[in-house]
Amino acid sequence: RLNFWPKVRLLFPSEVRGQLFVPSVNMFLWAGCIGVVVYFKESSAMEAAYGLAITITMLMTTILLTVYLRLKNTSVVLIAIFLITYLSIELSFLAANLLKFMHGGYVSLIICTFLMLVMWIWKEASAIKDNLTDYTDLDPYIPLLKKLSVDQSIPKYATHLVYMTKSIDRKKIENKIIYSILQQRPKRADIYWFIHVETTDDPYTREFKVDIIVPQDVIRITFRLGFKVEQLVGRYFSKVVKNMVQNDEVNITSRYQSLQDEHVTGDFTFIAMKKFLSYENKLPPYHRLIMKIHFIMKRLTVSEKQWFGLDDNNVEIEKIPLLISPAKDFEIRRIE
């Protein structure tokens, strides 16, 4: 959530939200332990690596505690006494361990550097993407969506078209969703659904709220799910639609005449969007490298489809270009 690490699967073993288990990190620890044992072979050979790792951990703890005390407006004198006392001890340990750097201490530094690079690259890439305007007002696009819904000149994409949105504000929507519906390829649908998921501090919350923005045309569903509740959005969405049908809030019968006469339920299509770096970007080499590594790392993380528990049979993956820094405009001359 702080954008220091790629999105990975989280498990909550207890009913306290702060206690969590990260399977991927556990697998990294397992692989790291095996690698260290295979490399050093004997526990006596890893003294330098172990000592350097412990010393760096102690130093980082001291620095973090100093920042915390400063934020709590603790007396500068007390902070200085604390720093001098602990740093004098820890730096002496660090100096002793650095003497054994070539005897295995470099292993700790390699592992440390790798983890720091992952966090730094992910944070830098997130900062670059945050410069974009991610959200736009939905209201100006409502008339266009209504016209698109009944435009017979455009082949129907789906009866019900469903998008996941991160926008907390019901009046805003991601730019990429508008791009997907109107520009990527005009997607005519009878009803456009926007789904937003909120995670609550209560472990077992299962609630939903319906905002009918335009009756039988544009509908937003907000799910409030506890942190221990599996995010099976597809199944929850089916229950919501059933509830709305029972309350005569929506008609999900297929709009195709032959199927409508037989009261056949219309099709539902979820669009999962995947961003890629557009060739139109004119980025400095440093930023381009950061973004390329960022997207390579994203391939190894949980996809939006898996994160929200959507079935393959009604999900389509759509690639959206990420335009961060457009190339300078140029002129091209026409010849006869």
Read off the pTM.
Answer: 0.70
* Phi (first) and psi of residue 269, to 5 degrees: -125, 125
Query: CA 130, CA 262: separation in Å to the nearest integer?
Result: 49
Q: What is the pLDDT of residues 47-104, one digit of tens each?
A: 878 888 888 899 999 999 999 999 998 899 999 999 999 999 999 988 887 777 787 7
Candidates 97, 24, 4; CA nearest to 57 is 97
Highest mean pLDDT among 47-51, 220-224, 260-264, 323-327: 220-224
Candidates 274, 194, 188; CA nearest to 233 is 194
The DSSP call for residue 196 is E
Question: Which pairs with CB-CB distance under 8 Å and at least 24 residues apart come from 56-64?
Answer: 56/94, 56/108, 56/112, 58/86, 58/90, 58/93, 59/87, 59/90, 59/91, 59/94, 62/86, 62/87, 62/90
Return the pLDDT at 79: 92
Report the share of the chain in percent with pLDDT over 90: 15
Q: Per-residue confidence at 9, pLDDT binned at 50, 70, 90?
A: confident
CA 179 and chain centroid, separation: 19
Judge whether residue 259 has pLDDT over 90. no
Q: Which of 166-175, 213-222, 239-248, 318-327 has the lowest mean pLDDT?
A: 318-327
**In residues, how long is the chain?**
336
Return the pLDDT at 178: 87
Q: Which amino acid is at 123?
A: K
Q: Per-residue confidence at 199, pLDDT binned at 50, 70, 90?
A: confident
Query: CA 65, CA 83: separation in Å to the nearest integer?
Result: 10
